[in-house]
Amino acid sequence: MSLVKGMFIVFEGIDGSGTSTQAEMLNNYFLNNQKKCHLTSEPSNGPVGNMIRQAFKGRLNLSKGKNPYISNGDLFDEQMAYLFAADRHDHLYNEIDGIIKLINQGATVISTRYYFSSYAYHCNSDADFELVKNLNLRFPKPDLVVYLNNTVAVSISRMRNRAFKDEYENERKLNLVKNNYTKIFELYEGEKLIIDATDSINNIHKAIVNKVCELECR
C-alpha cells in the first residue's frame, strides 16, 4: 500500500511576527493528533544553512556595500539570495532529511520561511526581484503559506529583549521587507492564509488549524 503524501506548510512574516511560535503550535497540533510531522526552518541546519547563520553572526565575512554595476544593488543581499537558493535546494532535495523525502514518507513538513522570504529580504529593486525569481523558479509551491501580517512597530517592540540581532533586524530593513511581502502576496496565486499577527496567539492558531483542516478535507 502506498503512503499518502504529507503537506508542505510554510510560515512567513517579518521578524517578530510570531512565525516560530505558530509553527511550533501547529507542529504540536499534528503530533497530538497522532499525525507524522516535521518542523524545520530556513536557513536550514544543512551545510549551506550553517554558512548563512555564521554570516548573520558576523563570524563569516561577506561583501557589503553597493554593487557598482547594478542600480540599487546591495552586495550582501545579492550574496544572501544566492546562498539561500543553494540552501533551499539542499533543504528540499537532500537524501537524509530533505523536505520532499519526508513528504513522500507521509509526514507534513512545517517550515518557518521559504522562497517568499528571499523576495522579501533580498530585494531592493526590480532587478533584484528578477534575480530572486530566476533563482527560485524551479522550486515547488507549498500546499499552504501562512503570512503573519505584523506592523514594524510591534515587531521592533517584540525583539527589544533579544540577546542577538542579525543584519536584518532593524527598522529600516523591516519597513522594506514588509512592503515587499505586501507585493508578494498581492500577486501570489497559490494557497495562502493572511492573518493579523497582532491578534491573540490562540486565535491565530485556531484560524490556522481551521485552514489546515479545510485543505485536508478536499
pLDDT tens digits, 59-107: 888 878 877 667 677 888 899 999 999 999 999 999 999 999 999 999 9
- Give CA–CA dist 207/116, Å, rounded: 21
Strand order across the 192-196 sheet: 37-41, 108-112, 8-12, 144-149, 192-196
CA distance 147 to 185: 8
State how many domains the chain has: 1
Rounded to an integer, the average pLDDT of 168-194 is: 91
In a domain, 3, yes or no: no
Q: What CATH number corresponds to the domain at position 127?
A: 3.40.50.300
Is 140 inside a domain boundary? yes
pLDDT digits (tens, 9 = 90+) for 101-130: 999 999 999 999 999 999 999 998 999 999
67 by Cβ neighbours in 10 Å (0-12 / 13-18 / 19+) ranks as middle
| Residue 162 is assigned to a structural domain of this protein | yes
Q: Is 2 within a domain?
A: no
For residues 110 and 26, the answer to whether their CB atoms sit within 8 Å is yes
